[in-house]
Amino acid sequence: NFIFFKIDITDLNNLRKIFKKYKLQYVVNLAAQAGVRYSIEKPSTYFKNNLEGFFNVIYLSKDYGVKHFVFASTSSVYGNQTKFPIEENRNTDKPLSFYAATKKSNEVIAHSFSNIYGLPSTGLRFFTVYGPYGRPDMALYKFSKDIINNKSIKLFNYGDHERDFTFITDIVEGIIKIISKPPKKKIPYEIFNIGGNKSYKLKRFISIIENNLKTKAKFEYLPLQKGDVRKTQASTKKLNTFINKKSYVKLEFGIKKFIKWFNNTYENK
């Protein structure tokens, strides 16, 4: 029951053909231009994909009576916070990057569609997702590749970052359980954090990679980059209650799973 279409979400007419033909009941929009640092170099790409493209998907979801529109947001919308863990009701009016600004805009657009048209919408703020088949521009993949190639890992903010890492299976579980539970409030709109429930210093993260690769890393220490937040840590109390989630994949186990996949993939290239 799976059909794949390679399509540009900024192409409204082609996208409409799919909605019209398949009478979609549920939509999970994970399509976006991701990444904080690249958004500094190419903001127009983010504007086109994350705003125009997002609008097309939610607009058609409204037009064709979708029962629940679920979309990916990001922990980046929180900017620099000083109290942890971060609950969903924290202020998100000061994004540090254009990427974060586009995802905050997605949340505002979705809320307006829920308010005006009654479209049930749920935004999911993902916290640093990792795992097998992950994006090659993400830290885990890049660091692993640099280590095995004996290259120095670039550590911005002189390595003084902390991140809440979320294994891909926790993300998938959250999405699947939320799809069938559209908001039923007067304004049918909801926001959830999906995180790993714990923040790790970057050096600890790298040491786990080193242990699994059985190789020591080299480092190049650099200042904090524009757009980067210093620390993230999700409060998942709201999500845990809503989907009855009791546990999350531990970072040590998740990295071990990734490295096993990475070694097999890299050896076959």
Q: Does 141 participate in catalysis according to the annotation?
A: no
DSSP symbols for the chain: --------TT-HHHHHHHHHHHT-SEEEE------HHHHHH-HHHHIIIIIIIHHHHHHHHHHTT-SEEEEEEEGGGG-S-SSSSBPTTS--S--SSHHHHHHHHHHHHHHHHHHHH---EEEEEE-SEESTT--TTSHHHHHHHHHHTTPEEEEGGGG--EEE-EEHHHHHHHHHHHHT----SSS-EEEEEE--S-EEEHHHHHHHHHHHHT---EEEE-PPPTT--SB--B--HHHHHHHT------HHHHHHHHHHHHHHHHHT-
Catalytic residue among 99, 130, 189, 200: 99
Could you list the active site residues?
99
